[in-house]
A and B are shown apart, each in its own frame.
Chain A
Amino acid sequence: MAIFSIISKTKSSASIRQMVKLTLSQSGYQVFQASDGAEGLAKARELSVNLVVTDLNLPVMNGLGLIRELRKLPAYKGVPIIFLTTESDPAVKLEAKSAGATGWITKPFQQEQLIGVVRKMIGP
């Protein structure tokens, strides 16, 4: 199964970006990456994936904007989209769900939590 991960390369996000890539790859998933919302949208049009994992804090186009644009693409109808957030504020989750997100993971998180949410979205 293929997963598309959009997490920036900034200093604050680099370690999460690497952890997500490593954890998912080691669990047998094919992982595609982008580092900002605009790159993510452009790549998404070319890819066929089973799941999208996106940070909300992205340069160029933020995560909410990316999620809204992805949901306009016919190929992404039905594809689960997980967002990463530092916020436990329900309003952030509500806004992301309204944009079209399926689920979320609150940072910081362990590898097992990431795999748990991924399996909840697309099965074992």
Chain B
Amino acid sequence: MLEQALLDLEHTPTDTDLVDTAFRALHTIKGSGAMFGFDAVAAFTHHVETAFDLVRKGKVTASRELIAVTLTAKDHMRLLIERPEAADAEEGAGILRALSVIVEGSPASPSAEPDVTTWRIQFRLARDAMAMGTNPLLLLDDLRGLGIATVTAQSDAVPPLEELVPTDCHLGWDVVLSTAQPRAAIEDVFMFVIDDMDLKITQIESYQCAGDTRTRHRSRCRAAA
């Protein structure tokens, strides 16, 4: 996914959808790496993600040089995941130095992206929400539509199978959302259920994850690269 987005970006460097795709892929790799203890991947990818965040915000141009270095960085990330013993730390440092030089010397693109805020959204619906017609997956889709979201299900309240009522909603969700939309847009997602649910929306400084280890981030990490 990341590689294809970068290759397409070479031909259309002002395509904001491609920039978003590349950023999301880097974000996923970083977060998944952190969650599963691939600290070297997370740390390395953080710098590449930061560079693409600047591209998203219009502060850096998606130049051929930036794309070329990012493709090299992608190969290094894959090595760190699949064969960390073969990854050369000096080579990684060299890639990041080249990235830094390109980012610092790059002119801003004409149309700047609006500021992005990261929110942590923790919510639990009423037990009978699904029986009353609310589909939690559509709420999550609405949140994803606002920006870049990482969703983690909270299954601590799911009862044993023999006690489970299939139409009851036992799950909670922990969503980290980076969006240019105001907080009110997040609240609007829950407009029909807000009076009957637990909802907490907190602005956070950087990516944080709820840490549900049953989320399949490893495969997403590889697929994103």
Contacts and interface: CB of A to CB of B under 8 A. Distances in A.
A123 B138 contact: yes
Contacts of B130: 78
For the residues of B in contact with A, the DSSP-based class is: loop
B134 interface: yes
Contact of B192 (A71, A79, A104, A122): A104
A102 B131 CA distance: 10
A77 B141 contact: no
Given A97-B196, A104-B192, A80 B134 contact: yes
A79 B192 CA distance: 15
A100 B132 contact: yes
A81 B192 contact: no
A106 to B, nearest CB: 12
A43 B225 CA distance: 53
Contacts of A81: 133
A79 B195 contact: no
Given A77-B167, A78-B167, A97-B195, A102 B132 contact: yes
Contacts of A79: 133
B129 to A, nearest CB: 9
B142 interface: yes
Contacts of B196: 97
Interface in A69-94: 71, 77-81, 94
B142 A80 contact: no
A2 interface: no
B133 A120 contact: no
Interface residues of B, number: 14
Best-surrounded residue of A79, A81, A103 (most CB of chain B within 10 A) = A103
B141 A78 contact: no
A24 interface: no
Given A94-B195, A102-B192, A80 B133 contact: yes
A122 B141 CA distance: 11
A41 interface: no
Nearest to B191: A103
A121 B138 contact: yes
A111 B191 CA distance: 19
Nearest to B142: A120
A55 to B, nearest CB: 17
Contacts of B131: 77-78
Given A97-B195, A97-B196, A103-B192, A78 B133 contact: yes
B168 to A, nearest CB: 11
Contacts of B142: 120
Contacts of A102: 132-134, 192
Contacts of A120: 138, 142, 192
18 contacts: A71-B132, A77-B131, A78-B133, A80-B133, A80-B134, A80-B135, A94-B195, A97-B196, A100-B132, A102-B134, A102-B192, A103-B192, A120-B138, A121-B133, A121-B135, A122-B138, A123-B135, A123-B138
Given A97-B195, A100-B132, A120-B142, 7 more contacts: A71-B132, A78-B131, A80-B133, A80-B135, A81-B133, A103-B133, A123-B135
